[in-house]
Structure 1
Amino acid sequence: MSWSRSRVVLGDVDRPAAEYVERPPVDTVLTRAARPVLAALAAEIENEPVSLILTDATGVVLWRRSGDRGLLTTLDRVDLAPGFRYAETQVGTNGIGTALEVGVPVLVDGSQHFSGQLRSFSCAGAPVTHPITGAILGVVDLTTRAQHSNSLLLSFAKLAAARISERILEDAHELDRAVLNDYRAACQHSGRPVIAIGEEVLMINALTQQQFDAGDQMAIIEHARDARGVAKPFSTLTDLPSGTTARLSYEPTFAGDKLAGGIVRIKAQVSATTRSPLGAGRAPALRTIAGSSAVWRHTAQGVIDACKRREWLVLDGEPGVGKAALIRAVHQNVWAGHRLALLDAAELDSNELLDRAASEFDSGSDLAILHADVLHEPELVELTHVLQAAPPGPLARDPWVSLTRHPQAVDTSSLLRLFPKSISVPPLRYHLEDIPDLVRVLLDAAGATDLVLAPAALNQLMRLAWRGNVTQLRDVLEEVHRHRRSGVIEPEALPAECRATTRHNLTRMQALERDAIVDAIALHAGDKTAAAAALGMSRATIYRKIREFGIV
């Protein structure tokens, strides 16, 4: 079966090559648990002609040890070395890739390898599974020359994998205990809504449930998820779907020197009942953009107010959230007929940017400088001098200037002191309820006026994380339009990336694998066994992949 899978992917190539990828982060659940276990086991086999190897869940070699320098040199010749991916799709049947495919320990002896250059080796691979979630985190592999192969290789690999899983469980308990202790202390002493988030835990206290409705709770949880892995405390203001503004104060939790998670304390800054009645008739009517959620209306209203007052403004936000579109729509709404010049610092060289900005000022245009965060300090100083030539003021003839930046951009006081206000444009995952309106506007803009998404398809889009924000949604809809010009789009007609709900970012290879599985399932009318056969993988593997990728 493994040879069949390998032949489907690799054809009749006798010397398939492993792919080199950038080294992934080494401080993971797997590597933290494996480091002491593998060091001890490596010492036990130091005088044996064996190499002990650890890979991640995609088959990328993370770690390799052997006391046999000649063996290591030979392994280097076949790229069985740190940074190379030994998945079945790369090199065919082998102890690492095949163990990942079937999800159980395997011993691949000499001629059983698909690649001719690997047939001088024997390798035993045992998957390392997370003791709580059951997810496969990687593989422990023992590789030796084929003439030294014996059944103990597999037993030793299984033992190493089991010890790592046990260590993961111990670490998980330690990390979870640290998060739980900080959570209890925060609940007892702060008297405020509290959320605790760790690698495997999420806890919300009763005050959070009492003070915030379900929509606000989901928005707060999304913010908390964004803080996962952050090792420094911070505070941020966020507008919630109900219209409430909340301050989220994050404090990391450590177990020794290990980051266990963090505690988020929440304080409502402005009550939805005391906020100006934006939701009751003050929602801005911006023709070229869509959004009726409270968080989006609040953001748009802030830009409108600044534009009316001609107050210079900085818009922060992730790529693709619609900062430039919001500026254009607001300006058209407030100062129709007055020219707005949009200058993209990411597309213009610095001299052209400065010349264009000065020229637009001389002509009396309003100005929006996009992607200002790509400018270096000397360019920012020069831009400051240009902008100071026309200082902001209350009179209508004074220019209105806005900047857009990435939210993690470093503040530069020489420029920002000219801008009295900043507004954060929320990522799409914070106002998913706007997706139906956005879909209609984006389809119309693409010329797909006769195309409609069925309610089930819209519901599926609202389940996704949209890390690329509105730009990603636009690209998805344009892909749909390339295949259909009219009619009703059901969920199965959405691109493959929209039929999986995994929250973590996928590598290019993982995304291709996900798309292939989705397409095969659709081609075989939901028959997963037939889809697995068509892809050359086992039924157990396709079900595992479906769970990992969140395929629906």
Structure 2
Amino acid sequence: MPSPSSELFSDPGDEAGVMQAWESFVRGDAAPEPALSLRSLVDVSWQRCQAARVDPNQRSGPEPLPDQDLYLLRERRRELLEASAPVMACARDFLSETGTMMVLADSYSTILSVEGDTPTVGSAETIALMPGVRWSEALCGTNAIGTALAVGEPVQIHSAEHYCAGIKRWTCSASVVRHPMDGEVIGAVDVSGLSQTYNRQSLALVVTTARRIESRLSLGEMERRNALLEHSLDYWNRAHAQGLVLFDRRGNLVKLNESAHAALARLAAHGAAVEAADLRQIPQLAAGRLQASVDAHTLPAWLRPEWLEPLMVAGEHIGTLIVLPYPPRGHELRAGGAERSASARPDFANIVTGDAAMRGAIARARQLARSRVPILLLGETGVGKEEFARGIHEAGEGPYIALNCGGMARELLASELFGYADGAFTGARKGGMIGKIEAANGGTLFLDEIGEMPLDMQPHLLRVLEQGEIYRLGENVPRKVNFRLIAATHRDLRAEVAAGRFRMDLYYRVAVSTVPIPPLRERRGDIALIARHFLLRFAPGATPPGLTRAALDALHTYDWPGNVRELRNTIESALLLSEGGPIDVEHLPYELRDACAAGAGMVVKAAAGSGLAHALPRGTTATATMPSQVTSIAEGEEALIRRAIAASDGNLTRAARQLNIAKSTLYVKMQRYGLRRP
């Protein structure tokens, strides 16, 4: 009986016997002699290759991906690449002059990066062992990368053990990389070289390397979870009667509130098969799968699509919130089955301001809230349009339903708005689905970024507003609806009408009354006040740290294109970096430090009376400067590439031409500096 080590490691002394077994296997001998030197791992792999009709006389791997496709693939595998970057950089020096190289591949066996001995890297290109080439068993036969991913274990493949004749001069060892949160195989790391470089320790090296990558992935995942919790904080603060269950971008449970326990208990009492174990992971909520899950209706039976709230940051899906409506003690049901606190917070309580224009906007919104006329909120991104919408809603009754019309595929937006009937399309959920308009019956429908709504969908919304009835997709029978419409946009809808991108009749229907919301740069007196508000809110102790005079200078000099949302994120980040001490310029994002440098000497007039100035250390000056000169060649190169990409509007071909470099070189440099195409 072979020892465990004889199955784990290759033995160069058995090469002749292995080669004889391969020749017999390829010939298809009816009854080949048992090859005692052939490991069962290799034997089973050869059988898989034969079943996949791999050509045993193949000389190399397939053609690599085009540069553009490889760049996009690396963008999708950014998490794995970033976690492995220090390890691969170390391999560049550690494996130099050893005749070996280290290879990183994704879970589909496609090579993402290669480092190590330069002559060996060059030799590997003759068999297409290079970035952009897929080294699966089905394409390249038995090899360490493809076989390790096929069996999910560390694998060493030496010389004649390879299935294809063209790579039998090579020896390789590989181990899979698993995601630390759920154990999913996300890639493989491999050490390869010509046959004479065989070493048993290569297998130990790749196993150790894979564990190091997994450790770095774990640290990154914890950072993402903290960012997810911070991003979802507003939802928890506004939850009232709603049960909230938060999942990360991989569909793993992160957090749930007390109301969620009660809501889940109520679902179980009504026959829904939901157990605590069902919440540990819902794979359908993973990034990239959520849309397909909702469309194909493969969600768990107890979970309704309208309860899902994807959390997006800069277009990236960072997690999913499940909102479970439940009326606990102290709450009452209003018209339409909506839940509302018996002691609701006063309207517009979340808007912090001392600015006259902003107070005027609140007064106008409060006055309009007494009627049910449609209201259009006008303001830039992050200015607080949803807080206005919620404040207006508080004056009425019924449910508050919000939908962002931007960045959503037309078909998804249609089903989200209007719902659909049973069997309306292939994969439609049994029993159909209620749309956001119907769900808002008796309450408020808030359509954010209405200017992004596709032109051909606008007449359908107009019909609902004019006739007070809705047709679900696939239905011919109208359903009566009655709701207050609040819309919001950062666009100039009049200009959109003139350009033919927005219907004039719909514009006059949604803009019966408008509320312009001033941007933060036009009410700089609020900056210190709002900063103080967020310090009190996010600081861990009872007494929050203050801001130095230089930090206040930077806050007031900056133009805040992201408005209040950007200010909030800035304060949250600065609190973490200051570690409990006063927040100084060095704790602010680089955009604000640049603004501080450009506006050195500016006096902060609005800080007086804000509650912040008292926290300034004695002797702190009212100015701050930042060095603007480039401090390294790499820093200058990165800045130059950023400018070229921005100037070409993301067209990498034009950017490369402007920089006078090859496009493939530009891809490599973008990967090095972590740059993305806008």
The TM tier, using the shorter chain, reads 0.3 to 0.5
Higher gyration radius (CA): 2
User: Could you say which structure has the higher strand fraction?
Assistant: 1
Could you state the TM-score of these two structures normalised by the residue count of structure 2?
0.37
Structure scoring higher RCO (CA < 8 A, sep ≥ 6) equals 1
Could you state the TM-score of these two structures normalised by the residue count of structure 1?
0.45
